């Protein structure tokens, strides 16, 4: 038997990196899985990689109306939602002087406003025992230069893990944060750096990690499986740091 047998799980931002690997691990543990993404092409690619065994849903994570439409689509397809992994995120880093209101609002919409209203839209689908996992970041705990807006958005999301757990506990719904440290994902490749510059950046990032390496999507996905499963039934309103010691040492 799998650790997620019989569970219905939605992963936002599931077309690459941590989200895609979590979908793979959830499927291996017996869950019925849906993933979201902005790009139809990337959703199709992810669907093929997962051998067509997932429900793929196009959705813009920062659009409140889109979150309501996503919930309605899921309600028409599934009898309930046992696991929600909020993984989609905007990872923009830049100096304070380079931010303007539009870029600030766009990041906050994806990382904080969208997740809140998606949870709100899905409330009727969550049964007793449901698990909501919010992907935070170790950046919420450290003073990394150029991470100000990103880190603030993740700190807000981690606060929701506590406050929503307090509000939803009578329904038996658990909300927890899962916070990665530096992780080897395709996100670094989207910065448009030359190969040597990207390698230098990775080396710089590794120096931040006490154990001397970056994490892998599989390591984060395994932690998500734990929080999604009944094994974590006594874990409520807290944060699991999977960060190589960045936030603790």
Give catalytic residues, as residue numbers: 150
**Alpha-carbon gap, residue 203 to 7, rounded angstroms:** 39
Quickly list DSSP for 85-126.
Answer: EE---------GGG--HHHHHHHHIIIIIHHHHHHHHHGGGP
Contacts of residue 98, defined as CB under 8 A and 6 or more positions apart, other chains included, come to: none
- C-alpha 221/C-alpha 232 separation (Å) is 15
246, two tokens: 């960045």
* Alpha-carbon Rg for the chain in angstroms: 17
Contact 172, 230 (CB under 8 A): no
Rounded distance, CA 165 to CA 236, Å?
7
Structure-token match 């994490």, residue found: 215
In Å, how far are 25, 72, 116, 230, 234 from 226, measured between CA atoms?
Answer: 11, 28, 23, 8, 11
Q: Which two tokens stand for residue 217?
A: 């999507």
């Amino acid at each position: 038997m799998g650790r997620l047998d019989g569970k219905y799980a939605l992963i936002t931002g599931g077309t690459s990196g941590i989200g895609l690997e979590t979908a793979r691990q959830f499927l291996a543990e017996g869950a019925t899985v849906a993933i979201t993404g902005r790009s139809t092409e990337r959703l199709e690619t992810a669907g093929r990689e997962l051998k067509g065994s997932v429900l793929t849903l196009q959705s813009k994570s920062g659009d409140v109306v889109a979150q309501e439409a996503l919930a309605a689509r899921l309600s028409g397809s599934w009898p309930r939602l046992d696991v929600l992994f909020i993984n989609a995120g905007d990872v923009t880093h830049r100096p304070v002087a380079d931010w303007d209101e539009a870029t600030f609002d766009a990041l906050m919409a994806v990382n904080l406003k969208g997740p809140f209203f998606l949870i709100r839209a899905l409330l009727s689908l969550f049964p007793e025992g449901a698990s909501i996992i919010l992907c935070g970041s170790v950046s919420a705990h450290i003073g990394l230069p150029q991470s100000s807006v990103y880190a603030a958005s993740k700190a807000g999301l981690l606060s929701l893990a506590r406050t929503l757990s307090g509000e939803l506990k009578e329904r038996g719904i658990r909300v927890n944060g899962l916070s990665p440290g530096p992780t080897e994902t395709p996100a670094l490749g989207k910065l448009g750096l030359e190969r040597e510059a990207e390698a230098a950046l990775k080396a710089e990032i590794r120096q931040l990690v006490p154990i001397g390496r970056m994490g892998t999507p599989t390591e984060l996905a395994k932690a998500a499986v734990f929080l999604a499963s009944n094994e974590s039934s006594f874990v409520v309103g807290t944060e699991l740091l999977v960060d190589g010691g960045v936030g603790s040492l």
